[in-house]
């Protein structure tokens, strides 16, 4: 369960979030749509306790993130799989080491088991052949998939995905979206997915919202959003084809 | 100027954290070993060259002066003492600061701007503990070794000068070098380098961690690391020279 109320965050005199409200039930998947620079990544980072909000409250599974001590914060983070917008793969480690590192630190799983599991997840995102490469040797889309595998391998109860399909071709985008949906259904993951890709949002999420002026302006099912008569919302639904 | 003192203040609290963090497990031995290798191999070529040059220059420079007083036989002692007590530790530290501080600064800064540090935090890994502690320990181990090695090469350099000019045989050179050096030269000389190693790694880590912005932030972190580390090394040396004199005469 993720409950955000009155979340505000500014950098200097740039107010990014301005009283944002969001409630995502346990096991629900929610997409955040929004133009570039509206604060989508900032929102995700606040949820994971990486940025400290100026005001407001964020509750993740009964723990208040913004007021949590280190131990509580760790408890929450053990449940979180985070896909960073730029991937954030550890560039000194190979792809599979990236996954193993996360498993053994996040969940304290023994190495041999971690290695098997990591390989499975890399196979799932189609990177089995490249698992011993360094991140610098991968293409943009491969990095994204590797980073997704790293977020998923810990089998998180909460999944925070920052643009999982950006930079991928339409076919891979579809596959990745389906993969997230499948894992979501299988493990009842609570997910928040930031995306510009309306197809992805449609596949992955039950509900979506449009972030604008520091708040979630419209929320509802994808179909409901498609019917809203506001050009800024409608813009996301204009298919390029 | 105000920025400078803010840095010093924040740097102090950043570096005290090391003492707390170094003692708590998990101990990252794998990281430590890879940093040892990295720092050593990164500095070795330059330290070798500079060590040898230091001895050559020092000998060439002082030889005529000593000759004027008929005191050329003191040359090995003079070189050995000034290298071991002062020049070796400081010059090695400044060179290693240039290689290693900037390297650490750039490395951690790029992890910061590409969100790798955030990723560590989400994986419940304390970035300070994982990134800073092993680097500081590695630098504290490597610098004394590099300094001893540079000292040795400098003495070889001085010997080359004496040998080429035919002023002294090797037996005499070795005995007068060894006779001139006492524990009270070697201990303060090497003891300093532990502090210098600490400064080198902590300053680089500090600037890496506080980096903001994109790739230009990475470059800035690297340069600030070298400038600050060199400066603080010299200030620390000033203090440590005093302490050394009080303790060892
Ligand atoms: N650490 C930071 N320091 C200063 N400003 C920041 C920081 N992080 C984000 N911002 C600013 O906050 C605003 C929102 O950033 P954010 O990364 O959340 O955008 P976004 O909605 O994710 O955009 P995009 O779709 O392009 O990724 C931007 O104007 C950005 O410049
Ligand atoms: Mg973003």
Q: Among A42, A78, A18, A1, which Cα is nearest to A162's? A: A42
Residue A16 lies in a domain: no
Q: What is the pTM of this model?
A: 0.89
Which of A45, A77, A89 is facing B124, going by the closest CB pair? Answer: A77
Residue range of the domain that includes A163: 26-44+69-238
What lies within 8 Å, CB to CB, of B53 at 6+ separation is B157
Over residues A168-181, mean pLDDT: 88
Residue A3 lies in a domain: no
Domain boundaries, chain B: 44-248
Do A26 and A147 meet the contact criterion of CB atoms below 8 Å apart? no
Q: What is the pLDDT of residues A183-205, one digit of tens each?
A: 888 888 999 999 988 889 989 99
Chain A residues whose C-beta sits inside 8 Å of any chain B C-beta: 45, 48-50, 74, 77-78, 80, 82, 84-91, 101-102, 105-106
Instruction: Report the pLDDT value the prediction gives residue B222, as an integer from 0 to 100.
Output: 92
Residue A103 lies in a domain: yes
- With a 6 Å cutoff on the Cβ, whether A36 touches ligand 1 is yes
Rounded Cα distance between B172 and B175, Å, is 5
Strand, coil or helix: A227? coil
Residue nearest (by alpha carbon) to ligand 1 atom 8: A42
The larger pLDDT score, comparing residue A127 to residue B170, is at: A127
Q: Among B205, B249, B178, B199, which Cα is nearest to B90's? A: B199
Q: What is the pLDDT of residues B116-155, one digit of tens each?
A: 999 999 999 999 999 999 999 999 999 999 999 999 999 9
Instruction: Report the pLDDT value the prediction gives residue A241, as an integer from 0 to 100.
Output: 47
What average pLDDT is seen over chain B?
88
Rounded Cα distance between B1 and B240, Å, is 25
Instruction: Report the pLDDT value the prediction gives residue B158, as an integer from 0 to 100.
Output: 87
CATH code where residue A169 lies: 3.40.50.300
Q: Determine phi and psi for B118, rounding to 5 degrees.
A: -60, -40
Instruction: Report the pLDDT value the prediction gives residue B180, as an integer from 0 to 100.
Output: 82
Reading the block at residue A71, the tokens are 């131990």
Q: What is the pLDDT of residues A126-163, one digit of tens each?
A: 899 999 999 999 988 899 999 999 999 999 999 999 99
Residue A81 lies in a domain: yes
How many domains, chain A? Answer: 1
What lies within 8 Å, CB to CB, of B81 at 6+ separation is B180, B181, B185
List b or e across A9-29, with b for residues whose CB sees 16 or more CB atoms inside 10 angstroms.
Answer: bbeeeeebbbebebebeeebb
pLDDT at A34 over 60: yes
Residue nearest (by alpha carbon) to ligand 1 atom 30: A37
Rounded Cα distance between B159 and A191, Å, is 71
Q: What is the pLDDT of residues B66-112, one digit of tens each?
A: 888 877 778 888 888 888 888 999 999 999 999 999 999 999 999 99
Reading the block at residue A184, the tokens are 């979501």
Pairing mode of beta strands A29-34, A190-194 = parallel
- With a 6 Å cutoff on the Cβ, whether A195 touches ligand 1 is no
How many Cβ atoms are within 10 Å of B147's Cβ, its own excluded? Answer: 28
The larger pLDDT score, comparing residue A111 to residue B220, is at: B220
Q: Considering only A70-74, A101-105, A227-231, B215-219, which range has the smallest mean pLDDT?
A: A227-231
Q: What is the pLDDT of residues B141-152, one digit of tens each?
A: 999 999 999 999
Do A176 and A125 meet the contact criterion of CB atoms below 8 Å apart? yes
Q: List, as own/partner pairs, every contact residues A4-8 make where C-beta atoms lie below 8 angstroms and the sequence separation is at least 24, other chains included.
A: A4/A43, A4/A46, A4/A47, A4/A56, A4/A57, A4/A58, A4/A59, A5/A56, A5/A57, A6/A55, A6/A56, A6/A57, A7/A43, A7/A46, A7/A53, A7/A55, A7/A56, A7/A57, A7/A58, A8/A53, A8/A54, A8/A55, A8/A56, A8/A214
Tell me the pLDDT band of A77, cut-offs 50, 70 and 90: very high
Do B156 and B221 meet the contact criterion of CB atoms below 8 Å apart? no
Instruction: Report the pLDDT value the prediction gives residue B208, as an integer from 0 to 100.
Output: 94
Over residues A196-225, mean pLDDT: 87
Which of A50, A89, A91 is facing B118, going by the closest CB pair? Answer: A50
pLDDT at A238 over 70: no
What average pLDDT is seen over chain A?
89
Do B226 and B97 meet the contact criterion of CB atoms below 8 Å apart? yes
Number of helices (H), then strands (E), in chain A: 9, 10
Atom of ligand 1 nearest to the CA of A39: 18
Would you mind telling me the total number of residues written for chain A in this entry?
241
**Which ligand has its closest atom nearest to the C-alpha of B112?**
1
Q: What is the pLDDT of residues B180-203, one digit of tens each?
A: 888 888 888 899 999 999 999 999
Residue position matching structure tokens 């060590």: B51
Residue A52 lies in a domain: no
Residue A19 lies in a domain: no
């Amino acid at each position: 369960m993720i409950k955000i109320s009155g979340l505000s965050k500014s950098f200097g005199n740039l107010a990014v979030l301005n009283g944002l409200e969001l409630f995502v039930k346990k096991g629900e998947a929610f997409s955040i749509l929004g133009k570039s620079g509206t604060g989508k990544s900032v929102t995700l980072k606040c949820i994971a306790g990486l940025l400290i909000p100026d005001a407001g409250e964020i509750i993740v599974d009964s723990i208040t993130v913004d007021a949590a001590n280190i131990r509580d914060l760790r408890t929450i983070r053990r449940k979180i799989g985070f896909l960073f917008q730029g991937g954030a793969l550890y560039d000194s480690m190979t792809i599979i080491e990236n996954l193993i590192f996360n498993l053994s630190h996040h969940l304290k799983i023994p190495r041999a088991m971690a290695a098997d599991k990591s390989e499975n997840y890399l196979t799932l995102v189609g990177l089995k052949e490249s698992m011993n490469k360094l991140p610098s040797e991968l293409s943009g889309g491969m990095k994204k998939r590797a980073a997704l595998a790293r977020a998923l391998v810990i089998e998180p109860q909460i999944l925070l995905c920052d643009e999982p399909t950006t930079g991928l071709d339409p076919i891979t985008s579809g596959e990745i979206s389906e993969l997230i949906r499948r894992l979501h259904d299988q493990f009842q993951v609570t997910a928040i997915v930031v995306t510009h890709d309306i197809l992805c949002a449609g596949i992955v999420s039950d509900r979506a919202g449009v972030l604008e002026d520091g708040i979630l302006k419209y929320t509802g099912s994808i179909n409901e959003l498609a019917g809203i008569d506001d050009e800024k919302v409608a813009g996301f639904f204009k298919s390029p084809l | 100027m105000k920025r400078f003192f803010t840095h010093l203040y924040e740097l102090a609290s950043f570096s005290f954290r090391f003492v707390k963090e170094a003692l708590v497990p998990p101990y990252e031995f794998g990281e430590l070993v890879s940093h040892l290798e990295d720092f050593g191999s990164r500095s070795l070529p330059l330290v070798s060259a500079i060590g040898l040059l230091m001895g050559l220059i020092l000998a060439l420079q002082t030889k005529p002066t000593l000759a004027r007083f008929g005191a050329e036989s003191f040359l090995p002692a003079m070189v050995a003492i000034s290298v071991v007590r002062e020049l070796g530790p400081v010059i090695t530290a400044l060179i290693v600061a240039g290689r290693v501080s900037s390297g650490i600064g750039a490395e951690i800064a790029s992890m910061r701007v590409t969100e790798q540090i955030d990723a560590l935090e989400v994986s419940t890994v304390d970035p300070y503990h994982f990134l800073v502690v092993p680097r500081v320990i590695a630098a504290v181990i490597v610098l004394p070794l590099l300094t001893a090695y540079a000292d040795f090469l400098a003495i070889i350099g001085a010997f080359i000068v004496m040998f080429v000019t035919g002023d002294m045989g090797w037996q005499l050179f070795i005995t007068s070098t060894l006779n001139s050096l006492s524990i009270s030269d070697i201990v303060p000389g090497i003891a300093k380098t532990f502090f210098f190693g600490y400064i080198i790694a902590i300053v680089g880590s500090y600037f890496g961690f506080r980096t903001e912005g994109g790739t230009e932030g990475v470059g800035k972190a690297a340069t600030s690391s070298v400038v600050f580390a060199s400066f603080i090394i010299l200030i620390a040396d000033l203090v440590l020279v005093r302490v050394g004199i009080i303790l060892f005469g």
